[in-house]
Amino acid sequence: MTASHPALDTLLYEVRDNVAIVTLNRPERMNTLGGSMKPDLARAFFDYARADERVRAVLVTGSGERAFCAGADIKERAGNQAAGTDYFVAQKATHDLFRNIEEFEKPVIAAINGVALGGGLEIALCCDIRLAADSARFGLPEIKLGVIPAAGGTQRLPRLVGEARAKELILTADLVDADTALRYGIVSRVVPQAELMTQAFALAQRIAEHPPLAVRFAKRAINRGMQTDLDSGLEYERYAAAMIIDSEDRKEGMRAFVEKRKPVFTGR
């Protein structure tokens, strides 16, 4: 663990081994996206984790057992009234932040320890892999407030679970439990609450042990391929493979395999 970074008002940030742990830390407000949480997230990812060569994976979770993140802080926003044109411009910053987390060059794992609602689920959807506690619940309930999921929910959820299920979840504003989220493909694993961080951290460590360049370009190839046709995806796959074919990590991986020893990867 390291304490070399300045403290953040709404997040806890630490590094264990090769994993950065980002904890949304407003438990008294269900870890809602209020205060300075969005700029704090930007600092944690793009100033701290990106600049630290030790960090090879990021684990995102929430403080306490009630909430991963309950979305927007409605109490903060209730008195705000923005013109549509101003909102359109301002919301671009949120889209950019979430997109940059989605495209972050190091793998990002969400350990969903409680409710993931609205913007909280939209953050989770930006992560590469999502694990959930068996007590977690999921939903995009914005419709009930007269608005829509506008931090990527209307776009990422259909791509993940299909159009019909996404429309049902968004238009009914219903919440689903962890087992339903697993069945829909929102999460890849459901574990007992007490085991969530242990299993999520172990998964992050397993990924962090692999050569960073291969992990980075595999992630990018998958992300690009999901947004395009097969032939374009295959072309990007060739490009990604070519970028790392002469890397030191590839040479080390081959040598270690032949010599029957554990490889030492440097990300070069």
Contact 72, 94 (CB under 8 A): no
| C-alpha distance across the termini of the chain, in Å | 24
Separation between Cα atoms, residue 145 and residue 72, nearest integer Å: 12
In this structure, are strands 19-24 and 67-69 parallel, antiparallel, or unpaired?
Answer: unpaired
CA-CA distance, 170 to 148, in Å (whole number)?
Answer: 8
Q: What CA–CA distance (Å, rounded) separates 120 from 135?
A: 16
**Could you give the residue numbers annotated as active site?**
122, 142
SS (H, E, C) 111-169: EECCEEECHHHHHHHCCCEEEEECCCEEECCHHHHCCCCCCCHHHHHHHHHCHHHHHHH
b/e code 177-209 from CB counts within 10 Å (16+ = b): ebebbbebebbeebbeeeebbeebbebbbebbe
For helices 212-225 and 248-259, angle between their N-to-C axes, nearest 10 degrees:
120
Q: Is the dihedral of CA 97, 114, 61, 31 positive or negative?
A: positive
Q: Give the DSSP letter string of 172-200.
A: H---EEHHHHHHHTS-SEEE-GGGHHHHH
Residue type, 50: R
